[in-house]
Amino acid sequence: MLPLDHAGSFNGKELTMDTVTTAAPNTSLRQRMLQDMKMRGLGEHTQKDYVRHVRRFAAFLGKPPDSATVEDLRRFQIDQHERAVGPATINGAVSALRFLFGITLKRPDMALGLVVIHYAPKLRVVLSVEETARLLEAAPGIKYKAALSVAYGAGLRVSEVAHLKVDDIDSTRMMIRVEQGKGRKDRNAMLSPHLLDLLRQWWREGKRRGVMLPHGWLFPGRNGTDPVSARQLHRVVQEAAARAEIHKRVSPHTLRHSFATHLLEQGVDIRVIQVLLGHVNISTTGIYTRVSSKTMRAVTSPLDQIVAVMEGRAPPG
């Protein structure tokens, strides 16, 4: 009996299974999959995504996913296309199901028919320097101004900002230590003098409020023992954008995109930006060359060259 969510039931219905014999007694398929993901070093967000995708597959089947057939997988993918599910979601489901059948269930042949969609990622939304300044100034209070300034000033992901600890701020080396970032990798991020000053202001205020614990979270949540949630930081960014009258669709990740783009426009080598962002492949960082206005302005349009020739001037070089 191996339903995805709880042993013995799925969506309130009894489901019996005898296709998997390798599970320990009373161990759910979900637990086994989580164990497999942890052993292979998959991050917390990836684990949650995989479980969510497999749960949706189980809901589509109406039975435990380990009883699925190759035809069931085909029907599931056809249903996704008919419902106009986005490419990123489809590909996420493919990755999750490949892991489920290939690793947890030891049935790699099941996933051979799963089809990945190749698509060009959308251009990142990027704020101008002036818009970024307005958004940070509109943050509600020193805590969130400091948190959003870390996202922009160091180019951190929202989960990385939320899980910073006081001891991660190295004022001697002027670096921020990021532990277990995406891909469960550690790295150092840049710490500017202005950002350090802002963090010290928040540290003093947090101590005054009694929420800044020794060796604790740099941005604690409401109870002080847990970090601020990524959801709360998303909400704060959107509220600040509304106050700053910024009408672009923004999120904490927009600040990370803007950090990379602004560095590129300052002439910073893209390989340096790659290291600062924690990207494994330079191609991932290369997306920012597509949104850099300075990069586009540096290219001379062929129309300008033609007009220069027609007017008897030397074509712009």
Which of the residues are catalytic?
157, 182, 253, 256, 279, 288
| Cβ atoms of residues 294 and 261 within 8 Å | no
Calculate ∠ Cα 59-121-95, nearest 5°: 35
DSSP notation for 188-218: EEE--HHHHHHHHHHHHHHHHHT---TT-BS
Bridge partners (DSSP) listed for residue 165: 217
Q: What letter represents residue 81's amino acid?
A: H
Bridge partners (DSSP) listed for residue 176: 169, 189
Phi, psi values for residue 182, rounded to 5°: -60, 135
Token output for 298 = 């540096």
- H helix or E strand, kind and range, residue 151: helix 142-153
Which residues neighbour 293 within 8 Å (Cβ) at sequence distance 6 or greater? 265
| Cβ atoms of residues 4 and 31 within 8 Å | no
Max CA-CA distance within the chain? 86
